[in-house]
């Protein structure tokens, strides 16, 4: 899992988390778990895209964007490199 600090670098979010699951089913299970945890923590207005296919699930929790990928999809889009190119602080978690 990688966290990317976007404070002062993006108007849409402060933090981006990127993680992988082993399969579409695993990505979906991680997403379901995170959604329940966010709701239990009091987060409201959470938006989710891609849950049906499980290749790339995006969870928009306001100040935090969470990207969950299958490994092949994560490698293809390589968001870490894209945002590191913008000189964001990328930290492995």
**Measuring CA to CA, how many Å separate 87 from each of 15, 24, 39, 62?**
14, 31, 32, 22
Tell me the pLDDT tens digit for each residue of 27-52. 999 999 999 999 999 998 999 999 99
Q: Is 68 helix (H, G, I), strand (E, B) or coil?
A: strand
**Which pTM does this prediction carry?**
0.87
**Domains of the chain with CATH codes:** 2-92 (3.30.460.10)
Are the CB atoms for 4 and 82 separated by under 8 Å? no
**Measuring CA to CA, how many Å separate 24 from each of 47, 49, 57, 76?**
19, 14, 10, 15
Residues in the chain: 93
Residue 54 CA from chain centroid, whole number: 13
Enclosing H/E stretch for 6:
none
Task: Note down pLDDT in tens along the chain; length 93 residues.
Answer: 999 988 888 888 899 999 999 999 999 999 999 999 999 999 989 999 999 999 999 999 989 999 999 999 999 999 988 876 654 455 555
């Amino acid at each position: 899992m990688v966290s990317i600090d976007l404070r002062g670098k993006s108007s849409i979010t402060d933090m981006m988390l990127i993680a992988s699951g082993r399969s579409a089913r695993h990505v979906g299970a991680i997403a379901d778990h995170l959604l329940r945890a966010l709701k239990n923590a009091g987060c409201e207005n959470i938006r989710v895209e891609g849950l049906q296919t499980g290749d790339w699930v995006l969870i928009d929790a306001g100040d935090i964007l969470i990207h969950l990928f299958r490994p092949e999809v994560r490698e293809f889009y390589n968001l870490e490199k894209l945002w590191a190119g913008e000189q964001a602080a990328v930290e492995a978690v």
